[in-house]
Structures are given as structure tokens and as C-alpha cells.
Amino acid sequence: MTDTHLRGLYAITDARETDPQKIAHAVEQALLGGARIVQFRDKSDDQPRRLQTAQALRELTHRHHALLIINDDVALAATCNADGVHIGRHDGGLREARARLGAEAIIGVSCYNQFELARQAVEAGADYVAFGRFFPSRTKPDAVPASLDLLHQARQELDIPVVAIGGITAATAAPLLEAGADMLAVVEGLFTQPDIRAAARQFRELLFHHRDTEHTEE
């Protein structure tokens, strides 16, 4: 998987929604609106339901030529043939995930507000790193705040794509892109909106505008 695929709107499913059909419908609306990466996040112990949802999302993302990433579950990622897995500080080792999923799998790592974690992730073979939260988040209200300086530093010093996450809306996203974010990871800014497809389209237009501006400046 080349880095060019790791760009754009990164939709993360709302963990408070557990109905597989409702999740699949919401994700399809996000994909139709322009999301290119989907992360399935479900911390429950209902393994059959989680597998059912993951398989439905695998079919959807294939159909829309998008990527499916599984949060914090290497075994589920392998079982549903996802494109990769996203791991956090306590989610198991990156090298173990690589050994299980193979060289082509996409492995992302949460680095919170710590640049040193990002350096370590790059050295261990991560495909992307994520920083945040950048804004107050109801999904993770206790998450540590991160600064734009992290994104500036990542742009200068890291050679892999960078995700910004945490309370992001279309109205607050521009500074993150300008600072160096390649992907915007969004939960509530998509999945709690009355029109998910329209919300995704707003992000897509913002991302296209930023990309066009970058090319013009070059």
C-alpha cells in the first residue's frame, strides 16, 4: 500500500452505535460523501456481532475502493481481511501486528501528544501515526490535548503520513491541514450529523481545496 492512499477523510465509527445494519448504512453514507479510509472501532466483548459488522464494512469499503482499518484487534483484522489495524499505547506491539498481518497491511499508531512515540513508531515500521486530541472531544473527553506544533514537526521530520484526531469539524479542520495533517480522523463530525453524506462532502471539499492550494504554491 503506497502512502498516496493514506490521504483524506478518515471516518471512525461511533462506538456507541452497535447495530451492524445502522453502522453499515452510516459508513456507506460517509463513503458516498468522500471518506477514503474507515476505521471500525468497537470495544465491546460481543465477538460475533463485531465480526458481522467488520465483514459488512469490508464489503462496503471494497465496493467503494476505500480502506478498512480495525481498531485495537489484530485477530479481527486478520479474520475479516481488513486492510490494516490501528493500535494504541496499550493495544499490543506493532511488530506483533506486522507478523500476524503481513508486510502489506497498514498499521497505524496513536501517539497522543508525544512526538517521541511517533519516532519510535516510524522506526518500528508504522505506516502512519496519529496525534490528538486537537479539540474537545465527547468521544474521548479525557484524551490529552495536542498542539499544532506536533503536526509541523511531523511534516518536517517524519516520512510517513500523519493523522489528526479529536473533535474535528469542517469548521476547525483547516489549521490542521495547514500544519501538516494528511488525514482528518472524524467521529462525531460525521456520524452524529443529520446528513452524514453531506458532512463527509464538506470535509472532502476542504481537503481538495487544501491540496489544490498546496499544488499552486509549489
The one catalytic residue among 36, 50, 58, 110: 110
Strands 37-40, 67-71: pairing is parallel
200 close to 30: Cβ distance less than 8 angstroms: yes
Residue 158 half-sphere exposure toward CB, CA atoms < 13 A: 31
128 closest CA partner among 96, 164, 90: 164
8 closest CA partner among 128, 149, 136: 128
Three-state DSSP class for 32?
A: helix
Residue 118 half-sphere exposure toward CB, CA atoms < 13 A: 24
Reported residue count of the chain is 218
- 44 catalytic? Reply is no
- CA dist 183 and 8 (Å) reads 5
Residue 26: count of CB within 10 angstroms of its CB: 21
The one catalytic residue among 7, 41, 49, 100: 41
Residue 208: count of CB within 10 angstroms of its CB: 12
Which grid cell is 133?
486530541
The one catalytic residue among 7, 140, 197, 204: 140
- 22 catalytic? Reply is no
Question: Which residues are the active-site residues?
Answer: 41, 110, 140
